[in-house]
Structures are given as structure tokens and as C-alpha cells.
């Protein structure tokens, strides 16, 4: 890992500029795209923190393309990120959990496409539990100057050039990677700035925390049930927030494993490959962690459709390997 030359406390903007200097031919487009994501995160953070004061919480009645009842904040977060990514000019197309079809930004000259879950865990909004945004960035493979195509989004996990999340929790943090390590930034709302707070995050090799919905235990594959029994025998801590970004962030910093296994009802699990599993797997590997679908490296699971589901086992490498062998 290269020695981080920047001290804790530098702004996100300074960090992005420093990161870019290593690429003399960089056009600054990815840097601008990262700034656009940070801008949308600041706006969504303000809406999340106001939820309950202004009547924007509670189901909006409309259901999203997944058939899930849509919280108004889901819709607001989706709109804010779509607007920021479109107006920023660096994104040619977007796949969002909230929309069945690919969204064309009209920026056909732009080099990048984004897959995003604008607000994951939104069923937790009304009970004041942490929620998060997860994003994944690819360089498009279709010709500049033309509208994006489906294949731009189905390049597979190892083609990602950047990925990250925003956790709207006791504090709001932005954690991302561009393939050169993982850095975390904490938001200071009074200044409207993200500041470097977690430089070059490395996740522990092993852990003693497991995150799984044990209510589904009888439906899990035998090997998973065996592994969960072993976690109990070893007195591991069971921590399950029901909000992926919250569980993931804690395990990233403290060590642990998050499991979303397949069940009879959901043979591919519940989580989405493009904008939940792939970005967190890329980021976690960059921090020294591992991610699997139970049989293979998660990043190498082929992408066939934009809302494809995938089982997810992600966290400390020793724990993920044990699940794969279970
Ligand atoms: P279950 C939230 O809906 C989510 O997508 C993740 O954030 C969370 O970890 C998971 O689903 C919870 O799912 O089936 O355990 O309620």
C-alpha cells in the first residue's frame, strides 16, 4: 500500500485532486464524477436528517420496480442522485434500484456509467435506523457520442473503476475506492464539507461478529446453517441492523462477516449484484477483505441482467473462506 501522503482532516476535494496528480493524462472527469456524488450525498443527508420533521417519511404509496412499497425518501434520494449525475455531465447512463430500465442522461459524450442504490435499507427510515447509498462506476464500452447500451452495465465486477457508499448514520460518512485503497470521509454539515477521517482502511483478517437474518435460518443451505452454529459455539457477537451499509461498515472497521444466503423463496438471495454486491465486494477487497457468492469470488460472478440478485458473503477473508468451505 502506498504511504498516504495526506493527513487526516484534508477535504474530499483536496484528496481527489491529490489522487488525480498520479495520472498526468487524467482528464479530471472521474474526479468531477466523484464530486457530483458527494454533492448529491450532502443533499440526501439533509433530507434524511429532516425526515420526520417535514412530512416526507412514510410510504409514498407508489411501489418501485421491485414491487416494494416506496418510502418518499427513496424517491427523493433517487431524484437527487439522477439530477447530480446528469447535471455533472460525466455520466452517460445510470442503472438505479428505483427504475426498471436504464436511465439515459443525454450526456452521450460522457465516458462513465453508474449503477446505484440511492437509498438502501429504506424500510428503516421511519424507525430512525442508519441507511445508505451504494454506487458503482464503469468506463463505458460503447462508442462515445452514442446512447449507452445494456452491455455498458454488464461488464462484470472486475471491470468497475470505482465504487463506494454513503452511510447516513450517527455521522454521515462517504467511503470509496478507485482501485488504490479505501478511504473514508466524515461530513461536517456546518461547513458542508467531507473531511478525510479514515485513511487507507484495512479490514481485519478475522473477526468475531456475524450479521445474518437468523429468522430465515431453516431455509438456508446446510453448510450455512453449520457455519452459523459454529459462530454461536465460538460466542461470536450477532449484529444485524437490517441495513446492509450499516452492517457492512461496522464489519469493515471491526472485522466480521455479513451473510445474505439463498432461501427456497429467494434462490438467488435478496441483494442485487450490480449496485449492492459488486461495489461492496470491490471496496472490501481493496481493504484486504473478501466477498463470495458461496462458490466463487463475488467480483467474478457474471452479470446477465441489471437487477439480478446474488447471494452475498462478505467481510474478513478468513471468515469468508470458512463459509465457502462449509
Ligand atoms: P431482510 C434492506 O432492505 C436490505 O436490502 C439490506 O439493506 C439489508 O441488509 C437486507 O435487505 C435486510 O433483508 O430479509 O433480512 O429483512
Residue-wise pLDDT tens digits, 287-306: 999 999 999 999 999 999 99
Checking 17-22 for CB contacts under 8 A at 24+ apart, the result is 19/178, 19/180
Q: Which atom of ligand 1 is nearest to the CA of 120?
A: 7
User: How far, in Å, is the centroid of ligand 1 from the Cα of 24?
Assistant: 42
User: How far, in Å, is the centroid of ligand 1 from the Cα of 309?
Assistant: 13
ipTM above 0.95, yes or no: yes
Ligand 1 contacts CB of residue 11 (under 6 A): no
Query: DSSP label at 191?
Result: T
Residue 68 grid cell: 416494494
Residue 1, pLDDT score = 44
C-beta separation of 224 from 271 below 8 A:
no
Q: CA-CA distance, 150 to 101, in Å (whole number)?
A: 10
Q: Which atom of ligand 1 is nearest to the CA of 211?
A: 9
Checking if the pLDDT of 172 tops 90, the result is: yes
C-beta separation of 48 from 166 below 8 A:
no
% of the chain surpassing 70 pLDDT: 93
Higher pLDDT, 49 or 271: 271
Which pLDDT band, with edges at 50, 70 and 90, does 58 fall under? low
Model's pTM, two decimal places? 0.95
- CA 278, 283, 286: angle at the middle one, nearest 5? 125
Residue nearest to atom 10 of ligand 1 (CA): 242
Checking if the pLDDT of 22 tops 90, the result is: no
Q: Which atom of ligand 1 is nearest to the CA of 131?
A: 7
Counting every residue written for the chain, the total comes to 326
Q: Which atom of ligand 1 is nearest to the CA of 241?
A: 9
SS3 of residue 82 by DSSP: helix
Which pLDDT band, with edges at 50, 70 and 90, does 63 fall under? low
List the end-to-end C-alpha distance of the chain, in Å, as a whole number.
32
10 Å Cβ neighbour count for 82? 21
What does the pLDDT look like over 200-248, one tens digit per residue? Answer: 999 999 999 999 999 999 999 999 999 999 999 999 999 999 999 999 9
Q: Which atom of ligand 1 is nearest to the CA of 245?
A: 7
Average pLDDT of the residues in 7-28 = 87
**Does the annotation flag 121 for ligand binding?**
yes
Checking if the pLDDT of 62 tops 70, the result is: no
66, 133, 243, 265: residue to mutate for ligand 1 pocket, most atoms within 8 A of CB: 243
Lowest mean pLDDT among 2-11, 17-26, 64-73, 150-159: 64-73
Ligand 1 contacts CB of residue 242 (under 6 A): yes
- Burial (CB < 10 A; 0-12, 13-18, 19+), residue 307, is middle
Q: CA-CA distance, 79 to 74, in Å (whole number)?
A: 9
Checking if the pLDDT of 99 tops 80, the result is: yes
User: How far, in Å, is the centroid of ligand 1 from the Cα of 27?
Assistant: 38
Name the average pLDDT for the chain: 93
Lowest mean pLDDT among 23-27, 69-73, 127-131, 171-175: 69-73
Residue 298, pLDDT score = 98
Residue nearest to atom 16 of ligand 1 (CA): 242
Average pLDDT of the residues in 122-145 = 93
For 287, residues 6+ apart whose C-beta sits below 8 A from its C-beta are 177, 181, 182, 201, 202, 203, 252
Ligand 1 contacts CB of residue 270 (under 6 A): yes
The torsion angles phi and psi of 321, rounded to 5 degrees, stand at -60, -40
Amino acid at each position: 500500500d502506498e504511504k498516504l501522503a495526506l493527513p487526516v482532516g484534508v477535504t474530499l476535494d483536496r484528496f481527489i485532486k491529490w489522487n488525480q496528480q498520479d495520472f498526468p493524462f487524467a482528464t479530471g472527469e472521474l474526479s468531477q464524477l466523484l464530486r457530483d456524488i458527494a454533492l448529491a450525498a450532502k443533499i440526501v443527508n439533509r433530507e434524511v436528517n429532516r425526515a420526520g420533521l417535514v412530512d416526507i417519511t412514510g410510504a409514498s404509496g407508489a411501489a418501485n420496480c421491485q414491487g416494494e412499497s416506496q418510502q418518499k425518501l427513496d424517491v427523493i434520494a433517487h431524484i437527487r442522485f439522477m439530477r447530480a449525475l446528469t447535471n455533472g455531465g460525466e455520466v452517460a447512463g445510470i442503472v438505479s434500484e428505483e427504475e426498471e430500465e436504464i436511465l439515459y442522461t443525454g450526456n452521450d459524450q460522457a465516458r462513465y456509467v453508474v449503477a446505484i442504490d440511492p437509498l438502501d435499507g429504506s424500510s428503516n427510515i421511519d424507525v430512525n435506523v442508519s441507511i445508505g447509498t451504494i454506487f458503482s462506476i464503469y468506463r463505458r464500452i460503447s462508442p462515445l457520442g452514442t446512447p449507452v447500451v445494456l452491455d455498458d452495465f454488464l461488464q462484470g465486477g472486475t471491470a468497475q473503476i470505482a465504487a463506494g457508499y454513503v452511510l447516513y448514520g450517527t455521522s454521515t460518512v462517504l467511503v470509496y475506492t478507485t482501485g488504490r485503497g479505501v478511504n473514508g470521509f466524515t461530513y461536517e454539515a456546518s461547513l458542508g464539507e467531507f473531511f478525510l477521517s479514515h485513511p487507507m482502511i484495512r479490514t481485519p483478517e478475522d473477526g468475531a461478529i456475524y450479521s445474518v437474518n437468523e429468522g430465515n435460518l431453516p431455509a438456508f443451505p446446510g453448510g450455512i446453517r453449520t457455519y452459523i452454529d459454529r459462530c454461536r459455539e465460538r460466542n461470536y457477537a450477532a449484529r444485524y441492523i437490517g441495513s446492509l451499509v450499516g452492517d457492512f461498515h461496522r464489519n469493515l472497521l471491526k472485522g466480521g462477516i455479513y451473510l445474505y444466503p439463498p432461501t427456497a423463496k429467494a434462490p438467488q438471495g435478496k441483494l442485487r449484484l450490480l449496485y449492492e454486491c459488486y461495489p461492496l465486494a470491490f471496496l472490501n477487497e481493496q481493504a484486504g477483505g473478501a466477498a463470495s457468492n458461496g462458490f466463487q469470488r463475488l467480483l467474478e460472478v457474471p452479470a446477465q441482467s441489471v437487477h439480478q440478485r446474488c447471494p452475498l458473503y462478505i467481510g474478513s477473508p478468513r471468515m469468508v473462506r470458512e463459509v465457502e468451505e462449509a
